[in-house]
Structure 1
Amino acid sequence: MAYRAHDVVTRALDVLDAHGLADLTMRRLGKELGVQPSALYHHFANKQSLLAAVADEILARGARPVEAERWQDRVVAICTMLRDSLLAYRDGAEVVATVHAFGLGATQPRDALTGALSGAGLRADDISVGTRTLLHYVYGHTIDEQTHLQADSAGALGDDAAAGVTDRDFANGLELILDGIALRVGVTQA
């Protein structure tokens, strides 16, 4: 059976979710699809390009309209949507963060945050730093959450550590960053 690139990405997401990033190999994916691993290179030049397509699919599946008017509310909506998208798949945060860091894709959240911060009245340099800071926060926080979830499911955490990281922790951290950005906006406009 001939597979399209989208079919390969869909199956790769299934493998990722079931087995994790460490076990998402071209060999395993080929086996899951019933083809030789070399057949996958017809669609993807290497594993990195496959992971880029997987990251973009994770983001596309979690995308929803952001209708907030105030820049702060838009940033919260974008960051929350990104976190939700990453949490929807095992190791989703690691996949998307890695692809983004290597400049292979996963640009939609960066572009959306840049647009939201542009409406805040920040200088261009501050928009760039603010966007990177927000992305680092969401990626790092979500990787930590997923690590806790996996360790807890394996019984590797004690009761105190099993409580993990909460939605409230995420919201509070995001609020702290936004308070800093708002302070910078006030200083810039003064």
Structure 2
Amino acid sequence: MRHHRDDVVRHAIDVLDAYGLADLTMRRLAGELDVRPSALYHHFRDKQSLLAAVADELLRRGARPLAGTAWDEQVVEICSGLRDALLAYRDGAELVSTVIAFGLGASRPYDDLVAALGPAGLGDELTPTAARTLLHLVLGHTLDEQTHLQAGSAGAIGDEPRPRSDFTAGLALVVDGIRLRAVARGSARLDQGA
């Protein structure tokens, strides 16, 4: 049976969710698809390009339209939506973090954050830094949450599941800092007569 690229990605997501990132191998995926591992290379040149396609699909599935109009509302929505998309799949945060770190894909959240931050007034030099900082907060926090939950479920740690997440409070702290920097930058420009 011949599989299309989308079929391979869909099955890869199923393997990821069932077994985790460490067990998402070309061999296992080929077994799930009832093909030889070499057949997968028709669609993907290597495992890293497969992982990039899987990460992009997870993000596509989790995307939702923005309701907020102000830049800070949009930033919160993008970050919260990204977190939800990552938490929807086992090892979602680890997968997307890896793909981003290797520069293989999963660029949409960063691009969306840059666009949302544009009206904040940070300028071309600080906007990318703010977007990366927000992205790292979401990825790191979500990775911590997923790792703790999975380790507890597997009996690797004796901790109970955490009663609630402090993600929203942490995100608010970062957004407040961005807002303060933008205000200070705007005041400095006014003082200089710009």
1:37 maps to which residue? Answer: 37
Q: Which residue of 2 aligns with 1:178?
A: 175
User: Which residue in the other structure is 1:96 paired with?
Assistant: 96
Match of 1:187? 184
Alignment of 1:153-172 (within 5 A): 153-158=153-158, 161-164=159-162, 166-167=164-165, 169-172=166-169
In 2: Cα distance, 1:77 partner to 1:162 partner: 29
1:92-114 CA deviation, whole Å, 9 max, x = no partner?
Answer: 11111111111111011011000
Distance in 1, Cα, partners of 2:125 & 2:89: 33
Bigger Rg, which one: 2
- Distance in 2 of aligned mates of 1:105 and 1:174: 24
- Residue in 2 that maps onto 1:9: 9
The count of corresponding residues between Structure 1 and Structure 2 is: 187
SS at match of 1:51: helix
Q: Deviations over 1:41-100 (max 9, x none)?
A: 000000000000000000000011012111111000000000000001000111111111
Secondary structure (helix, strand or coil) at the match of 1:119 reads: helix
RMSD: 1.0
Q: Could you tell me which runs of 5 or more consecutive residues in structure 1 were left unpaired when the two chains were aligned.
A: none
**Identical aligned residues as a percent:** 61
- Do the aligned partners of residues 54 and 139 (structure 1) sit closer, same or farther apart at CA in structure 2, a change above 3 Å counting? same
How high is the TM-score relative to the length of structure 1? 0.96
Change (3 A) 1:58 1:164: same
Q: Structure 2, unaligned stretches of length 5 or more?
A: 188-194
Structure 2: how far apart are the matches of 1:166 and 1:114?
A: 29
Runs of 4 or more consecutive aligned structure 1 residues displaced over 4 Å after TM superposition: none
> Structure 1 residue 165: deviation in Å?
7.3
